[in-house]
Amino acid sequence: MDRPAERDEYAIMGTTGGTGFVRVTDPRNPVPVAFVYSATGPSIWRDIKVIGNYAYIVAEARGHGLQVFDMTRLRGRNSLEYLTPDATNSDFGNAHNIVANEETNFLYVVGATQNGAGYSICRGGLLVLDVSNPLQPRYAGCFGNDGYVHDAQCVIYHGPDIRYTGREICFCFNENSLTLVDVEDKNNMRMFAKSGYINVAYTHQGWLTENHQFVLLDDEMDEYQKPAASQYTKTYMWDIRILDMPTLRSIFESSERSIDHNQYVVGDYTFQANYESGLRILHINEGAFALTNVGYFDVFPIRTTADFYGTWSVYPYFKSGTVLVSSIDYGLFMVKPDWEKIESLVKNGTDYAEQTRTRRPLFASKGAICPALVETKSCHAEVLC
């Protein structure tokens, strides 16, 4: 989800049948401009990352491989066209996800369990591709020593642990652990830390704070597999100031019963996609190891439960301030946070959650009109919404 020209912003949407590109420079008037069909069959799992002007697409569809699309082709288009990729790579078949490090021009394909010949590759771990030449992705290495990687963030480390300064590190979310891998030397990638936690269900995804001192981790199944009393969305805050000794400092519990999926950090805020409770914006207080809910946008307002409907992902990195929210059920939403109000909430130490009440008629006399009602209003989290 990046812009191939400074003048325009684009949303890139993975769909069952392929990848859509939507110009969102004017978020009130989005323009679908291109669609690239899936390389093989359909899949509900499709992921896209961008380096420079190029979008790199993978999917769980068997034999799909990597599609490369030059987004400069979108310039000047004002209507939907069906386009083909500029290049493909078939070193692997399916993949669950793809990770991009824009600083190094390396892609990390993760969750790839079938290569072009139909055999397991990298055990579903980090399959590294060099895209210095975007149209000719080149195999650069493979790390499968910790098995399947569901998602990761790979960065040039600039945190407080000087032993690793300037090295490329991947923070991997490996189903049952937070795993750190030094990937500086693609021929000798090395796992140097692995941490589990109590009641792990499915370590799904996470993101570093901008100072590389903390990792916020989401477990996709810890709400779903629990009784209703324990289904409040949980975010795990890891202290990584000593990089090879990740320490779980706190577990934030939301006021909503909902499953978390993806989150991304901008400044002192994390933008979470939490399925039926939608986009949640949380303020990060590193000194207190605490998170505070300061904003939300619900794209599945008919209910909020620990189930797999609603928001799948969010994108908060546009210079315009537009935040993209992808809905499994209803498509693409564009929103803008009210930062003046959010900063006021942070200053006053206020949680901003929501309260919903319903009215369902049990009896109505003949001819009476008494529709069902759902009413939602803001409230403080301590009201136990």
Residue 4 has pLDDT above 50, yes or no: no
pLDDT the model gives residue 362: 58
Which tens digits make up the pLDDT trace of 221-262? 999 988 877 899 999 999 999 999 999 999 999 999 999 999
Q: How far apart are CA 194 and CA 244, in angstroms?
A: 8
3-state secondary structure at position 76:
coil
Residues constituting the chain: 385
Provide the domain count of the chain: 1
Report the candidate in 206, 202, 211 with the shortest Cα–Cα distance to residue 180: 206
CATH of the domain at 343: 2.130.10.10
pLDDT the model gives residue 382: 40
Structural domain boundaries, residue 245:
150-352
pLDDT the model gives residue 114: 85
High-pLDDT (> 70) share of the chain, %: 88
In a domain, 378, yes or no: no
Higher-pLDDT residue of 225, 87? 87
pLDDT the model gives residue 376: 58
Residue 373 has pLDDT above 70, yes or no: no
User: CB-hemisphere CA count at 13 Å for 18?
Assistant: 17
In a domain, 336, yes or no: yes
Report the candidate in 316, 198, 308, 293 with the shortest Cα–Cα distance to residue 260: 308
In a domain, 155, yes or no: yes
Report the candidate in 245, 92, 103 with the shortest Cα–Cα distance to residue 183: 103
Dig out the tokens for 28 from the structure.
């009130």
Exposed / middle / buried, residue 367 (Cβ in 10 Å: 0-12, 13-18, 19+): exposed
In a domain, 269, yes or no: yes
Q: How far apart are CA 364 and CA 243, in angstroms?
A: 64
If you average pLDDT over residues 144-163, what whole number do you get?
Answer: 97
Dig out the tokens for 241 from the structure.
């100031």
In a domain, 113, yes or no: no
pLDDT the model gives residue 2: 47
Q: How far apart are CA 350 and CA 346, in angstroms?
A: 6
Say what the pTM is. 0.90
In a domain, 77, yes or no: no
State how far the alpha carbon of 323 is from the alpha carbons of 28, 326, 364, in Å: 12, 10, 44
Q: What is the pLDDT confidence band of residue 385, given thresholds at 50, 70 and 90?
A: very low
In a domain, 70, yes or no: no
Per DSSP bridges, beta strands 203-208 and 190-195 are unpaired
pLDDT the model gives residue 379: 47
pLDDT the model gives residue 271: 98
Residue 355 has pLDDT above 60, yes or no: no
In a domain, 11, yes or no: no
